[in-house]
Structure 1
Amino acid sequence: MHPQNEGRAEVQALLTKWLDWPPVWTLAGLAAIWLLALIPLPLGFGAVGPGLALASLALGLWLMVKAFLRMRSLSTTVNPRGLPQVLVTDSVFAISRNPIYLGDALVLLAATFWGNTVLGLFVVAGFVWVVTDRFITAEEDRLADIFGDQAAEWFVRVRRWL
């Protein structure tokens, strides 16, 4: 391998190790929404924006906490690159196969409503795409490999997002 390519591979590995994590993507989304909120637009969410923001935030945080606590109670990993010990299909996992990511998306939606920027909806959609591409697909592959038919049945019964 060419030395320049080795250097790029090392940088990419470091970025993946330290920056390519769902919370970092969520924070990047929040920063992008904040910047987009600085752009004056004739469209917005009006008087309902703050209420929608609080509802989205509350629901998103509730989903994340419920999912985290349920996974911890079953002694399985919350690390998106970790090896799951248990297939969690109850509690909020009966509503969404990815309640933590859904919670993150709802937090971004809350920021969009609060910042009164319809452009934030593109950030939320981008977050959903990135998380699906970077994390969910690999997680589902691991679950299918480890839990086989049980995972396949859950995939059919419960939608990926909602």
Structure 2
Amino acid sequence: MNIPPLVQLALCMVIASLLAAFIPLATFDTPAVLVAATATIGAVFLLPAVMSFLLHKTTVNPTSPEMATTLVTNGIYSITRNPMYVGMLIILMAFALWLGALSAVLMAALFFMTIDRFQIRGEERALAQTFGKPFEDYAARVPRWLFIRSKAALQD
């Protein structure tokens, strides 16, 4: 996908805000502590993932995965192949909870689907081309989205 994931996240937040304001579908109150805890969990995935890429001196640019110089598989990357996207999704969920509208929560589902379908799959194809069997072994061992395993990690 040509739209960088951070831009997609920002767009989803803007649209979630508009939906919550104009078409909330159903509203709810979320305790501030739950919103804060959810946002913190998102940061726990996102920040170590970025730091890991920087420490390994490989690209953090998701629009150029073919420029990766190192296949990072340790730390947070041993739990999920996409901790940055997991973190973004959780932060978006925290934002939707803060907005308190079901329609805002739907934007988290849309973000998940578009990142999975249009961003991650292309990145994984590029990583498979760049790193070959080590990436294939990694993809077979570590789920794309935390507990969500793909039966055909590289074929879908």
TM-score normalized with structure 1 length: 0.81
- Once the two structures are TM-superposed, the CA of residue 43 in structure 1 deviates from its matched residue by 3.7
In the alignment, what sits opposite 1:138?
122
Q: 1:51 Cα shift?
A: 2.6
Residue of structure 2 equivalent to 1:116: 100
CA distance in 2, matches of 1:111, 1:92: 23
Amino acid at match of 1:37: A
1:56 Cα deviation after fit? 1.6
Shift of the 40–26 alpha-carbon distance from structure 1 to 2, 3 Å rule, reads closer
Deviation at 1:33, TM superposition (A): 1.3
Q: CA deviation at 1:74?
A: 0.5
Deviations 1:25-44 (A, max 9, x none): 11111111111221475744
Report % sequence identity: 29
Whole-angstrom CA distance in 1 between matches of 2:15 and 2:6: 14
Give the Cα–Cα distance (whole angstroms) in 2 for the partners of residues 148 and 110 of structure 1: 36
Aligned residues: 143
Q: Tell me: CA distance 1:138–1:51, structure 2 relative to 1, closer, same or farther (3 Å).
A: same
1:71 counterpart residue number: 53
- Aligned match of 1:33 in 16, 20, 34? 16
Compute the displacement of 1:62 (Å). Answer: 2.2
> How far is the alpha carbon of 1:81 from its aligned partner?
2.5
Matches of 1:81 and 1:25, distance apart in 2: 12
Identify unmatched segments of 5+ residues in structure 2: 147-156
Deviation at 1:133, TM superposition (A): 2.5
CA deviation string 1:114-160 (max 9, x = no partner): 01112222111111111122221111011111211111111111111
Higher helix share: 1
Of 123-132 and 48-57, more deviation after overlay is shown by 48-57
- Large movers: runs of 4+ above 2 Å: 39-46, 48-52
Whole-angstrom distance in 1 between the partners of 2:128 and 2:26: 44
How large is the Cα RMSD of the aligned pairs? 1.7
The structure 2 residue matched to 1:62, chosen from 27, 40, 44, is: 44
Question: Bigger radius of gyration, 1 or 2?
Answer: 1
Offset at residue 49 of structure 1 (A): 4.1
Q: Is the Cα–Cα contact under 8 Å of residues 50 and 113 in structure 1 kept in the other structure?
A: no
